[in-house]
C-alpha cells in the first residue's frame, strides 16, 4: 500500500486472501481476529461502502450503526426476513408494497411457514389490529412505491416495539439525504442501492443498516446464503454516494415543479407526490424529511394517473419521448413504468385496489433533465390521449 491516502476507493478484486499461518486463517474465519479470507464472507471494498452507508444513516444516533451490503435490493430484503422470521412467525406489511417484496412474502416466505398480513400502513388502528403475539416484523416503506404514501415512522416504531416486533423500513425511495428511519425508531433500514445510491443505472446492489447485534445476524445469513456484493459493484456504489446529495437535491426540486404543473392538465385524474399540499402525507413528510436549503425534499417519484384507466395509462407512457420506459429508478435519466403491468404485475386486481394503485397509474422516476423539457414531453403525451 502507498503511504499517501488514495482519494478513490481501492478495489480489492480478489476472491481469496492469503495468510501467514494456519492459526491466523482459522482466527479470521472464526471472527476471533479482524481480517479477510474469502470475498463471499467479507471484502475491504464492500466494507468501505457499508461503513459509508452506516455513517449516512446514523449521524445523529447515540450509538454508531453497522451495515451489510448485498448483490441486490431483493437479496437484502430476503436476508432480513430469513434472519428474523422463522417458521410460525407473523409479518405485518403494507398493502401498497413493492411487487418484489410482495412476491417474496406470498410465494417464498409462506412456503417456510411465515404468514403475512397486508394492511393500510397509513391507518394506525388497522396496523395495531393486525399485530399478533407471533408478529416478528412490522415492515414498511418510507415512501410507498408507486402510491407515494408516507409512513408515520415514529408511530409505527412504537407499535412494533409494543409487541416485541422489529420495525424494518425499506427507504429506497427516500435515501438518507431525504430521510433516516433509524433516527425515528426503525430497527433496520434497507435500500435497493441500485437506485439512488448508485444513481447512474449501471450497478446492482442492496444494503441493510441497523444496530450492531441485529446486523451481526443479518451478516451470518448473508454469508450462509451467498447474496454478497462484488467488489467492483461496491466501488461504483461507494462512488455514487459522493454525488448523492447533489443528484437527489436536483431530482427532488424538478419533481416538485413537474408534479405541480402536470396536476393541472385536464387529462390527469390525479398526481401522487408528497410535496404537493393536497397529498395526504404532506404534513408528515414535512416533519420527517430533510428540508434542505431549497425548502423541501420529498423524493423524486411522481405517479401520474390519467383519465381512462389501464389503456390510457399505457398509451400515456408509450407516447413520452424524453422520459423512457424502463425498469428501476433513481438514475440520471427520467424513467416511467406503467405500474399495474410492470413493477406491480404480481398483484391481482383485488390486491391493486387494496394497495390504492389505479390500473392507469404511471410512475415517473425524475432524473436530471430540465423540468421544462419533462413537462413539455408529458403535456404532449397527455394532449394526445383524446385520440386513444
Indicate whether 295 belongs to any domain: yes
Look at residue 340 in the predicted model and tell me its pLDDT.
84
The residue behind cell 459493484 is: 233
Indicate whether 17 belongs to any domain: no
What is the extent of the structural domain holding 148?
A: 22-239
Residues 79 and 190 in one domain: yes
Look at residue 116 in the predicted model and tell me its pLDDT.
98
Indicate whether 6 belongs to any domain: no
Residues 189 and 286 in one domain: no
**Of 239, 257, 288, which marks where a domain is finished?**
239
Indicate whether 114 belongs to any domain: yes
Residues 305 and 379 in one domain: yes
Q: Would you say 107 and 134 are in contact if contact means Cβ atoms under 8 Å apart?
A: no
Indicate whether 326 belongs to any domain: yes
Number of domains comprising the chain: 2
Residues 120 and 170 in one domain: yes
For 225-281, how does the pLDDT look when each residue is reduced to its tens digit (9 = 90+)? Answer: 999 999 999 999 999 999 999 999 999 999 999 999 999 999 999 999 999 999 999
Look at residue 295 in the predicted model and tell me its pLDDT.
63
Nearest-angstrom CA–CA distance, 29 and 31: 6
**Of 239, 263, 278, which marks where a domain is finished?**
239
Question: Does residue 28 have a pLDDT over 60?
Answer: yes
**Of 181, 204, 239, which marks where a domain is finished?**
239
Q: Which domain CATH number covers 316?
A: 3.90.1150.10
Residues 232 and 268 in one domain: no
Q: Which domain CATH number covers 225?
A: 3.40.640.10
Residues 110 and 254 in one domain: no
Look at residue 388 in the predicted model and tell me its pLDDT.
44
Residues 312 and 281 in one domain: yes
Query: Checking phi first, is residue 328 left (phi over 0); if not, alpha (psi -120 to 50) or beta?
Result: left
Question: Does residue 21 have a pLDDT over 80?
Answer: yes
| Long-range interactions of 331-334: CB distance < 8 A, separation 24+ | 331/195, 331/199, 331/200, 331/201, 331/365, 331/367, 332/199, 332/200, 332/201, 332/247, 332/367, 332/368, 333/201, 333/367, 333/368, 333/369, 334/364, 334/365, 334/366, 334/367, 334/369, 334/374
Question: pTM for the full model?
Answer: 0.94
Indicate whether 177 belongs to any domain: yes
| pLDDT mean across residues, the chain | 94
Residues 135 and 173 in one domain: yes
Residues 179 and 323 in one domain: no
Indicate whether 382 belongs to any domain: yes
Residues 44 and 100 in one domain: yes
Residues 186 and 284 in one domain: no
For 6-15, how does the pLDDT look when each residue is reduced to its tens digit (9 = 90+)? Answer: 888 999 999 9
Indicate whether 10 belongs to any domain: no
Residues 76 and 221 in one domain: yes
Amino acid at each position: 500500500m502507498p503511504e499517501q491516502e488514495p482519494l478513490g476507493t481501492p478495489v480489492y478484486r480478489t476472491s481469496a486472501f492469503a495468510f501467514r499461518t494456519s492459526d491466523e486463517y482459522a482466527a479470521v474465519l472464526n471472527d476471533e481476529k479482524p481480517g479477510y479470507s474469502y470475498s463471499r464472507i467479507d471484502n475491504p471494498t464492500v466494507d468501505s461502502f457499508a461503513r459509508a452507508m452506516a455513517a449516512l444513516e446514523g449521524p445523529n444516533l447515540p450509538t454508531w450503526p453497522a451495515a451489510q451490503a448485498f448483490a441486490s435490493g431483493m437479496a437484502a430484503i430476503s436476508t432480513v426476513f430469513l434472519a428474523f422470521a422463522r417458521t410460525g412467525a407473523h409479518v405485518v406489511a403494507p398493502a401498497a408494497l413493492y411487487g418484489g417484496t410482495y412476491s417474496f412474502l406470498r410465494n417464498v416466505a409462506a412456503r417456510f411457514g411465515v404468514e403475512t398480513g397486508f394492511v393500510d400502513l397509513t391507518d394506525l388502528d388497522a396496523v395495531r389490529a393486525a399485530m399478533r403475539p407471533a408478529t416478528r416484523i412490522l415492515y414498511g416503506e418510507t415512501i410507498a412505491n408507486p402510491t407515494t404514501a408516507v409512513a408515520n415512522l415514529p408511530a409505527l416504531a412504537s407499535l412494533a416495539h409494543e409487541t416485541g416486533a422489529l420495525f424494518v423500513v425499506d427507504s429506497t425511495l427516500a435515501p438518507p439525504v431525504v430521510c433516516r428511519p433509524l433516527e425515528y425508531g426503525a430497527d433496520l433500514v434497507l435500500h435497493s442501492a441500485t437506485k439512488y445510491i448508485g444513481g447512474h443505472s449501471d450497478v446492482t446492489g442492496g444494503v441493510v443498516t441497523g444496530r450492531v447485534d441485529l446486523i451481526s445476524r443479518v451478516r451470518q445469513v448473508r454469508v450462509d446464503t451467498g447474496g454478497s456484493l462484488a467488489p467492483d459493484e461496491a466501488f461504483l456504489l461507494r462512488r455514487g454516494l459522493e454525488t448523492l446529495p447533489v443528484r437527489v437535491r436536483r431530482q427532488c426540486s424538478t419533481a416538485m415543479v413537474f408534479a405541480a404543473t402536470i396536476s393541472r392538465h385536464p387529462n390527469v385524474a390525479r398526481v401522487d407526490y408528497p410535496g404537493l399540499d393536497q397529498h395526504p402525507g404532506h404534513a408528515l413528510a414535512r416533519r420527517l424529511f430533510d428540508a434542505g436549503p431549497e425548502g423541501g425534499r420529498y423524493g423524486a417519484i411522481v405517479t401520474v394517473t390519467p383519465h381512462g384507466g389501464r389503456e390510457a395509462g399505457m398509451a400515456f407512457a408509450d407516447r413520452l419521448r424524453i422520459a423512457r420506459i424502463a425498469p428501476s429508478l433513481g438514475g440520471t435519466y427520467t424513467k416511467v413504468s406503467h405500474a399495474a403491468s410492470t413493477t406491480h404485475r404480481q398483484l391481482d386486481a383485488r390486491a391493486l385496489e387494496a394497495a390504492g394503485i389505479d390500473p392507469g397509474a404511471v410512475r415517473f422516476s425524475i432524473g436530471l433533465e430540465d423540468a421544462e423539457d419533462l413537462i413539455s414531453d408529458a403535456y404532449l403525451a397527455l394532449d394526445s390521449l383524446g385520440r386513444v
